[in-house]
Amino acid sequence: MIQIYDTTLRDGTQREGISLSCTDKLRIARKLDELGVAFIEGGWPGSNPKDAEFFDRAKDMTWQYAKITAFGSTCRVGGGPEDDANIKALLDAQTPVCTVVGKTWTLHVTDVLRTTLDENLRIIEQSLAFLRAQGRRVIYDAEHFFDGYKADAAYALETLKAAARGGAETVVLCDTNGGTLPWELSEIVRSIKAALNHPIGIHTHNDGECAVSNSLAAIREGAIQVQGTINGYGERCGNANLNSIMADLELKMNLRCLPEGHLRMLSDVAHFVAEVANLAPDDHLAYVGKSAFAHKGGIHVAAMRRNVASYQHIEPTLVGNEMRVVVSELSGRGNLLSKAEELGLDVEGAGVADVLNEIKVLEARGFSFEAAEASVAMLMKRQTPDYKAPFELIDFLVNVEHRAGRGIFAEAMVKVRVNGEVLHTAAEGNGPVNALDIALRKALITHYPQIEAFHLADYKVRILDGNNGTEAITRVLIDTQNGTRRWSTVGASGNIIEASWRALVDSVEYGLTVAG
């Protein structure tokens, strides 16, 4: 069983733009424990009060699978671990496991620590031995190991031996600068395995875009522990992405790293961590991204309708994801049939061809249906023989005015027909689209009270041909939410109001019919 050592809460938070509260860190830790990782590195207790609070609260919680780990450095040069503040903070964290980082590269020993090579070996061994004597399990992170090995292989190996003598259960080889290539790393790990009869781990950074490859290469050479972060979060270009590593280990290398069946939680965990970190999920992440199993090309989808393995390397549900068919001007008949099946719509024959032709015409005019699946659904829904639209637009009017003492405001008038009844309403809003939205809702709410639960969650505008200045085509994307359900619609026009109205009507009609 390969040990998964998660450092999202420590190394991951060194990414620009991430700042987790103590409560955030505990929520993520609980999710990681449910996933079944072996170690959760909670932070550096000697560095800030928030990490100290995390360990204080974590020690009273029950952890089913993971061991909570505190991170710190070796004791100070010239001193001993027994009176070192950093070592004391590790003990005060009361975690069952302590991870200690030490210097491996002679450059860091002489230029950063400004001490002798022998003194560095002493503080590594004594720091670990002291923690072991206090009843802690100890993991040793050999910082800058691969750069250190390239500079002085014999000394780099001596630092690992010092850690082993001090009682480290695992010595972790760190590619801290992230610049080692997989074939270099494989050769170095192989040499260490031959020279050191001790369990080793791997900790890589992604500065050369090789962090996942390097981690897997180390495991092939005998590493029993892999360190990384969820979604690859971390300083500079990030750490090794544990999402991909865990999936590759279990699905490609047939090596167990999580409890049986827990890999299906992977996509949920990845999105949860992104949400708590207040970062937009990366749709294009391998295995867990929304687009990881999205198919757009017509020939791809046509092939997959015959055999889903034709354009997918795994079954998406194995990692808790799902296959999606994207509809665009590149689509073929199979894309629409798959999308119709996905939405439970019965569209066949000429209807499919008509929708496909309309999509191609609209995309040539500036529409984009890839991110607006609700608009695609409405194009298909309107082609079904028995479909009756919930309302019909007769007229709309929008005025934007400036009045003394009041400033800018917008007013909209909407006239629609519902079940033969003509409804004429007006409303004010803080902008023209807001006014249209309110007026349309006022007209429909007596017939469709459920519309009150529809909320405009996002509104995006993109100028498609900026060289045309104010005459440019404008594309509008609207996200609407009803409880936990969310859908997207699109409109495009040289008139931003018309583009917005098109997206707005699709949004409301979808909510009342397909999503209702």
- Superfamily of the domain at 3-276: Aldolase class I (3.20.20.70)
Could you tell me which residues are beta bridge partners of residue 137? 97
Q: Which residues contact 427 (CB under 8 A, 6 or more apart)?
A: 411, 412, 435, 438, 439, 442
* Crossing angle of the two packed helices 496-512 and 373-381, in degrees rounded to 10: 70
d(CA 200, CA 284) in angstroms, rounded, equals: 32
Q: Give the count of beta carbons closer than 10 Å to the beta carbon of residue 414.
A: 27
CB distance 184 to 191 below 8 Å: no
d(CA 478, CA 396) in angstroms, rounded, equals: 19
pLDDT of the residue at 329: 46
pLDDT of the residue at 490: 84
pLDDT of the residue at 281: 86
pTM: 0.75
Element (H, E) at 40: strand 39-43
Identity of residue 376:
V
Q: Where are the domains of the chain?
A: 3-276, 294-381, 392-512
* Crossing angle of the two packed helices 373-381 and 333-343, in degrees rounded to 10: 90
At the topology level of CATH, where does 392-512 sit?
Answer: Double Stranded RNA Binding Domain (3.30.160)
Residues 287-319 as b/e (b if ≥16 CB within 10 A, e otherwise) read bbbbebbbbbbbebbbbbbeeeeebeeeebeeb
- Kindly give the confidence (pLDDT) of every residue in the chain, 516 residues in length, as a single tens digit, with 9 standing for 90 and above: 999 999 999 999 999 999 999 999 999 999 999 999 999 999 999 788 889 999 999 999 999 999 999 999 999 999 999 999 999 999 999 999 999 999 999 999 999 989 999 999 999 999 999 999 999 999 999 999 999 999 999 999 999 999 999 999 999 999 999 999 999 999 999 999 999 999 999 999 999 999 999 999 999 999 999 999 999 999 999 999 999 999 999 999 999 999 999 999 999 999 999 999 988 889 899 999 988 887 665 555 555 566 666 677 899 999 999 877 665 444 455 555 565 566 565 655 545 666 666 666 666 666 666 667 787 777 777 777 778 888 988 998 998 887 777 778 889 999 999 988 999 999 988 888 889 889 999 999 999 999 898 988 888 888 776 566 666 788 888 888 888 788 888 888 888 888 888 888 888 988 888 766
pLDDT of the residue at 375: 78
CA geometry: angle 105, 110, 113, nearest 5 deg:
90
d(CA 155, CA 126) in angstroms, rounded, equals: 18
Structure tokens at 113: 């620590």
CA geometry: angle 42, 44, 48, nearest 5 deg:
110
d(CA 323, CA 169) in angstroms, rounded, equals: 42
DSSP 321-336: ---EE--STT--HHHH
